[in-house]
Amino acid sequence: MIELNSEIIVEDLEEKTRLDVFLSEETGWSRSQVKLQIDGERALVNGVSRKAGFLIKNGDVVSLSFSKEILEINAEAEDIPLDIVYEDDDFAIINKPQGMVVHPAPGAYNHTLVNALLYHFENLSASNDKIRPGIVHRIDKDTSGLLVVAKNDKAHESLAKQIAEHSCFRHYLALLEGNLKTDSGTVDTFISRSKNDRKMMAVSEDGKRAITHYTVLERFGDYCLVEFVLETGRTHQIRVHSKHLGHPIVGDKTYGIKNQKFKLDGQLLHAYKLELTHPTTGKRMAFECEIPDYFTKILNKLKNK
């Protein structure tokens, strides 16, 4: 695996320049290769992950951790069972199980949702790249629940636009440690890569704006069941905001408490509802799925107690 790790201080630019264009000229890599690295958050501008089209200026600091390994990934079809909640010619709604990675990446080349999609669907959008066909948005490996998959580029563009414009509503259920003081509220912060651990995200003074709405559905003394609705979709957003509130998600190995009471494989966070507008008909649609058994068992224990 060939890596390119460096820090570049931008200077001598006559005008603001696209990040992918700048890095292609600096590294000698093609723009498509550079975009894969940028999409994999391997190029940070002033410590913040940006899009390929982000305009950089003199004085900016671009930190690289490029890897040839990510360029060698070519997703292949695998016969993996899928819980398909809905499907038509434009898109499908998938109920992803906990433990499944959404798309191939270094360290997880096979057994991902994309590998399963390539087996089950003849057509998928190509709006992203060869390792993420059909993927409009993601949910974490250890988060379960609904996500939408585009089956053609036109649908992909429409669905991605809805997410960007906050007209596609994503509802989550989570069990939190302790009890929130208020029954409902909104967390409005900025989120960026943690300065202490690049694998983690953190509330910061810069980064990207992150807005999460929450409502307490049930209280159990030492825990509370909460509904979260995303207005934005930053990496680990609900998990980071839960920690920021002082009540991390039960089972969260990254942002949760050290001494977990329950033996779990991941956080009790489930994307149970998805609302969107059909890309072709314009009809407003809503989809729901049940809470996984391991989540329900914990809730029943708390209720009985």
Closest CA to 50 of 17, 19, 26: 19
Please list, residue by residue across 287-297, b when 16 or more beta carbons sit within 10 angstroms of its beta carbon and e when fewer do: eebebbebbee
The number of beta carbons lying within 10 Å of the beta carbon of residue 46 is: 15
Q: Which residues pair with 249 in a beta bridge?
A: 176
Q: Which residues pair with 64 in a beta bridge?
A: 6, 43
Task: Tokens 């779990």: give the residue.
Answer: 264
Q: Which residues pair with 228 in a beta bridge?
A: 172, 214
Closest CA to 192 of 234, 133, 141, 159: 234
Measured distance CA(59)–CA(62) in Å, rounded: 10
13 three-class SS: coil
Structure tokens at 186: 């909104």
Give yes or no: 88 in active site.
Answer: no
DSSP string, 186-253: EEEEEEEE-SS-TTSEEEESSSEEEEEEEEEEEE-SSEEEEEEEESS--TTHHHHHHHHTT-PBTT-T
DSSP run (H or E) holding 167: none
Q: Which member of 90, 140, 142, 252 is catalytic? A: 140
Structure tokens at 289: 């799925």
20 three-class SS: helix
In the chain, alpha helices (H):
19-27, 31-39, 113-120, 153-164, 237-244, 293-304
Active site residue ranges = 140
